[in-house]
Structure 1
Amino acid sequence: MAIADRRQRERTAQRDLITRSARAIAESEGWDAVTTRRLSAEIEYSQPVIYRHFASIDHLVEAVALEGFEELAAALGRARAAATPDDAVRSIADAYVQWAAVNPSLYDAMFTRATRVSFGAEDTPAPLAEGYAELRSAVAVQAGRGDVDTLTEVLWAGLHGLVTLQRGQRLRPDHQPDRVAALVGAITDATPVL
Structure 2
Amino acid sequence: MSVQERKQRERADRERLIVVTARELAEQQGWDAVTTRRLAERIEYSQPVLYSHFKGKREIIGAVALQGASELASAVRAATAKADGPRARVTALALAYLDYAADNPAVYDALFQLDGGLPYAREDTPEPLKDAFASLQETLAEVAGEDVHPGMFTELFWASLHGLATLTRTRRLLPGDALRRVELLVDRLAVL
Question: What TM-score do the two structures reach when normalised by structure 1?
Answer: 0.94
- 8 A contact 1:62–1:109 mirrored in 2: yes
- Superposed, 1:92-103 pairs within 5 Å as 92-103=93-104
User: 2-side partners of 1:116 and 1:45: how far apart?
Assistant: 24
Deviation, structure 1 residue 189: 4.0
Letter in 1 for 2:105: P
Q: Runs of 4+ in structure 1 displaced over 4 angstroms? A: none
Give a deviation string over 1:115-152, Cα, whole Å, max 9, x none: 32122110111111111111111111122222211111
Moved more, 77-86 or 8-17: 77-86
Deviation, structure 1 residue 174: 1.0
The answer to whether residue 175 in structure 2 is matched with residue 173 in structure 1 is yes
- 8 A contact 1:70–1:128 mirrored in 2: yes
- How many residue pairs align between the two structures? 190
| Secondary structure in structure 1 of the residue aligned to 2:17 | helix
User: 1-side partners of 2:161 and 2:107: how far apart?
Assistant: 16
| Residue number among 154, 157, 165 corresponding to 1:155 in the alignment | 157
User: 1-side partners of 2:145 and 2:85: how far apart?
Assistant: 13
Q: Give the aligned partner of residue 182 of structure 1.
A: 184
- Identity among equivalent positions (%) equals 45
Question: What TM-score do the two structures reach when normalised by structure 2?
Answer: 0.95
Give a deviation string over 1:29-64, Cα, whole Å, max 9, x none: 000000011011111100000000000111111111
Letter in 1 for 2:70: E
Q: Give the aligned partner of residue 111 of structure 1.
A: 112
Q: Give the aligned partner of residue 66 of structure 2.
A: 66
- 8 A contact 1:85–1:141 mirrored in 2: no
Q: Give the aligned partner of residue 28 of structure 2.
A: 28
| Secondary structure in structure 1 of the residue aligned to 2:101 | helix
Letter in 2 for 1:122: E
Deviation, structure 1 residue 170: 0.6
